[in-house]
Amino acid sequence: MSIVINHLSFAYTQGGKKLEPTLKDLCFTIEEGAFLGIIGHTGSGKSTFVKHLNGLLPCEKGTVIVDGHDLSEKTERKTVRALVGMVFQYPEYQLFAETVYEDVSFGPKNMKLDTQEIDKRVKQAMELVGLNPDVFSERSPFDLSGGERRRTAIAGVLAMQPKYLVLDEPMAGLDPLGRREILALLEKLRKESGCTIIMISHSMDDIANHATKVLVLEQGSVFLYDTPNLVFSHAEELEKIGLSVPSVTKICIEMNRRGAKIPASICTEQAFLDWFREGNAHA
């Protein structure tokens, strides 16, 4: 199963008139189990695109088909919203209940699940994000650290057991420890449950180290869509549209300018170490 994007275009309306298209003829497939990183400068259409994945924005032109369910059909949207969970920027700002348990249980309750199933899902989701239910259930979300609040908000989405999890800058505003915790959580979720991760990020290092595929949007169009090593091998093209490359790639580019012969596809520390060891092994 997968999410298939076919000729998707979209334009916002202002004062009754259509503005310039924000999305232009997007065509690609997000495979089940992937970790898709989405990059692009401000205004490239990233957030507008992901809002189409569960019907928050309508498909004006083209289609979004999630596991065979066409979001162009209104009757399919409820089914798709159960499959695609959304975590927006600073999700902790949406916390509202008196306790962590009440906040995490909000989604499952709206799904009309029975009390036993709700309790099971809430505890599973809290454990998955690293919040011990025995410790955190009765605590106020507003007494938690920034990273704990972010994980509480994510747990509220996970408690609905989505097959696809969409996150818009999930590490925004977090300290380095909080960033590492969220990334570790996403990797754990993908490996243990098979959940497909779709993440918007401005951190090229995070994308290089965690994504299996990278979507580059430029002025609403697909600029590149490939594996991280192939996408970041286009350093000059990315620079021309205002994007950077991972730190390791920058180092390799500088070393090549000084006479080294390092493959352009290297974009992570591990890939660099593997290349270095292989080269020494044959020296």
d(CA 275, CA 257): 18
Q: For 57-96, how does the pLDDT look when each residue is reduced to its tens digit (9 = 90+)? A: 999 899 999 999 999 998 898 899 889 999 988 888 888 8
Neighbours of 11 (CB within 10 A): 17
Q: What is the enclosing helix (H) or strand (E) of 280?
A: helix 269-281
Residue 2's φ and ψ, nearest 5 degrees, are -170, 175
CATH superfamily of 2-245: P-loop containing nucleotide triphosphate hydrolases (3.40.50.300)
Candidates 256, 111, 250; CA nearest to 121 is 111
DSSP 8-state assignment for residue 121: H
Q: For 115-126, how does the pLDDT look when each residue is reduced to its tens digit (9 = 90+)? A: 999 999 999 999
pLDDT number for residue 92: 83
> Structural domain boundaries of the chain?
2-245
∠ at Cα 65 (106, 124), nearest 5°?
A: 30
Q: What is the enclosing helix (H) or strand (E) of 249?
A: helix 247-257
d(CA 5, CA 214): 15
This prediction has a pTM of: 0.90
Residue 224 token pair: 């590149």
- Residue-level pLDDT, tens digit, the chain, 283 residues: 899 999 999 999 988 888 899 999 999 999 999 999 999 999 999 999 999 999 999 998 999 999 999 999 988 988 998 899 999 888 888 888 999 999 999 999 988 899 999 999 999 999 988 899 999 999 999 999 888 888 899 999 999 999 999 999 988 888 888 888 889 989 988 988 889 999 999 999 999 999 999 999 999 999 999 999 999 999 999 999 999 999 999 999 999 999 888 998 899 999 999 888 886 655 4
- For 237, counting Cβ atoms within 10 Å of its Cβ (0-12 exposed, 13-18 middle, 19+ buried), the class is middle
